[in-house]
Structure 1
Amino acid sequence: MVDEVMSSSPPKFSFPEAGLRVMITNKFGPRTRLRMASRIIINERQRLINSANGVSRKPLQNGRQENIKNGNVPMENPEDPPGEQQPQPPQPVEAAFLSPFSVPEARGDKAKWVFTWPLIFLLGVTIPNCSKPRWEKFFMVTFLTATLWIAVFSYLMVWLVTIIGYTFGIPDVIMGITFLAAGTSVPDCMASLIVARQGLGDMAVSNTIGSNVFDILVGLGIPWGLQTMVINYGSTVKINSRGLVYSVVLLLGSVALTVLGIHLNKWRLDWKLGVYVLVLYAIFLCFSIMIEFNVFTFVNLPMCREDD
């Protein structure tokens, strides 16, 4: 059946594409047909995105096609004739930059390498590199080690932010919604930026919303649960609820205005939407800081400072 589809169809489907079209016929069950139809839609959408970006799949030497996965988009030389692809040499620029023993050539990259060398060396010797063939089977060790380092860095960041806020007389809530929030959201920002550049705007937007939901429900639920059930069973965790009420109202308003702005922009991510959300963040930050400093109403007691 696959051979018949491949030989009779004008586009000359590849074997996987023909197999998917065979499996949506009534010879298979409803669940299988639905899954294969979904896979066809996903493949077609990816093909349209690649066509819009001027990228196409190139054949390899063994006759197979190179799949576009995880953002690794193959680029073709427009001067080459069709069907003749020049072998592309490997580009170990990123790997060399991340290596603690390889100095990059560019001046800007060299300055970054010198500034981050202690961190690169520490992570390079403690986390197995799964991109190398000899470490492919230790991906779970890499995941667990990276998670452990994230926990260590998060603890150090919270400790430093607390000390800095106490030194300059800044309330903990202000440090939390500014420096601490920015430090913990940088990985989410980078992930959203990467998928947005790949044309997956829906994934970028859903990541921003889902990551914050995860932070609120899991990031707060797990430590509070450990404190009240494991460390000190039956205890309670007290929070400043007066200022928190205004922060929650501002947060809900920011989310509503963000969704409204995306809707008014016809669900497209462009520079106008970027400026809009940055202005919203600046307004949210200003109002939150003024509320915590008792500008509108009294929500926080003054911080007690030790005598010199």
Structure 2
Amino acid sequence: VMCAGEEKEEEEEEDPSPFALPDTAAEYPLWLLCLPWYATFTVTVPDCGKAGKEGWYLVSFGMSVFWISAISYGMVDAAANVGCILDVPEVIMGTLVLAAGTSVPDALASIGVAKNGFGDMAVANAVGSNVFDIWLGLGLPWLVILPSRGGFEEVSTRMLWPSIFILAGVLAVYYISVALNSFKLVKQHGYMYLTVYALFVVYSIVGVWRLDIYELKKDATAAVAVAVNATNATATR
């Protein structure tokens, strides 16, 4: 039987330090890779969970948003460069690489709250993150960048409509599958959703990239030609 004092001591036990040496040699490469980030976040993001730093929560939140934004910008720039070098369409880099990278924190958050018994919160996080990405994730960048580009941005609908239909189809499959099971999530749902995502990956790599069913390479070639012609016209003036 655990007494009240022991329960309180266990609750107040601090999380292990990220600077502690790993227990096994296999963990050292990842630990060394993450060590600079551990140091940076420790210095710049106050731990408002510690005694005496509770009032720093706004600073912690602001710095967390700053680092998420900075790292996301670096990830987007790196993905664009890698895609250019490997001749991978921007659509593929966006839907597979960037989407997966930016959704990992959401997935981990959903797993964490689901393990704690908050299934509704996990589902709301998965659905709400898409609403946030579409309305704010697209609306804010367009609002900021469009004034410097003549007030509009040309978007190719050749890939836009299929993406919209796929998103609508995924949401329909999700809601129908949950409704048919009396709005209860079971392990079979997980297998089904992972299978659907695997099919989407195959469709993106084989159909969109390798077979180029939407003729994205033609659009890219035309865009390069327009840019080259504009550069030549400017140089000859």
**What's the TM-score bracket when you normalise by the shorter of the two chains?**
0.7 to 0.9
Q: 1:253 to 1:222 in 2, by over 3 A?
A: same
For residues 140 and 209 of structure 1, the distance between their equivalents in structure 2, rounded to whole angstroms, comes to 26
Q: Larger helix proportion, structure 1 or 2?
A: 2
The number of aligned residues is: 220
Q: 1:124 to 1:240 in 2, by over 3 A?
A: same
Residue 166 of structure 1 and its aligned partner are, at CA, apart by 1.0
Matching residue within 124, 129, 140 for 2:42: 124
Query: Is the contact made by 2:113 and 2:119 (CA closer than 8 Å) also made in structure 1?
Result: yes
Query: Is the contact made by 1:97 and 1:104 (CA closer than 8 Å) also made in structure 2?
Result: no
**Which of the pair has more CA radius of gyration?**
1
Q: 1:164 to 1:257 in 2, by over 3 A?
A: same
Query: Is the contact made by 2:48 and 2:54 (CA closer than 8 Å) also made in structure 1?
Result: yes
Q: Deviations over 1:257-300 (max 9, x none)?
A: 11112222332233211100001111223223444237484441
Query: Is the contact made by 1:165 and 1:175 (CA closer than 8 Å) also made in structure 2?
Result: yes
Q: 1:134 to 1:292 in 2, by over 3 A?
A: same
Is 1:279 paired with 2:195?
A: yes
> What are the residue-to-residue correspondences of 1:153-192 with 2, within 5 Å?
153-192=71-110
User: TM-score if structure 2 supplies the norm length?
Assistant: 0.82
Matching residue within 234, 238, 261 for 2:177: 261
Which range moves more in the overlay, 278-287 or 205-214?
278-287
For residues 149 and 143 of structure 2, the distance between their equivalents in structure 1, rounded to whole angstroms, comes to 9
Structure 2: gaps spanning 5 or more residues:
225-237
Q: 1:267 to 1:151 in 2, by over 3 A?
A: same
Matching residue within 187, 204, 223 for 1:288: 204
Structure 1: gaps spanning 5 or more residues:
1-79
Residue 149 of structure 1 and its aligned partner are, at CA, apart by 0.6
The residue number in structure 2 matching 1:22 is none
For residues 93 and 174 of structure 1, the distance between their equivalents in structure 2, rounded to whole angstroms, comes to 45
Q: 1:104 to 1:96 in 2, by over 3 A?
A: farther
Higher relative contact order (CA 8 A, sep 6+): 2
User: TM-score if structure 1 supplies the norm length?
Assistant: 0.64
Query: Is the contact made by 1:96 and 1:104 (CA closer than 8 Å) also made in structure 2?
Result: no
For residues 91 and 107 of structure 1, the distance between their equivalents in structure 2, rounded to whole angstroms, comes to 30
Residue 134 of structure 1 and its aligned partner are, at CA, apart by 2.7
Letter of the 1:277 counterpart: Y
Query: Is the contact made by 1:188 and 1:208 (CA closer than 8 Å) also made in structure 2?
Result: yes
For residues 290 and 245 of structure 1, the distance between their equivalents in structure 2, rounded to whole angstroms, comes to 18
**Cα RMSD between the aligned structures?**
2.6
Query: Is the contact made by 2:89 and 2:217 (CA closer than 8 Å) also made in structure 1?
Result: no
Query: Is the contact made by 2:88 and 2:209 (CA closer than 8 Å) also made in structure 1?
Result: no
The residue number in structure 2 matching 1:197 is 115
For residues 284 and 204 of structure 1, the distance between their equivalents in structure 2, rounded to whole angstroms, comes to 22
Is 1:211 paired with 2:129?
A: yes
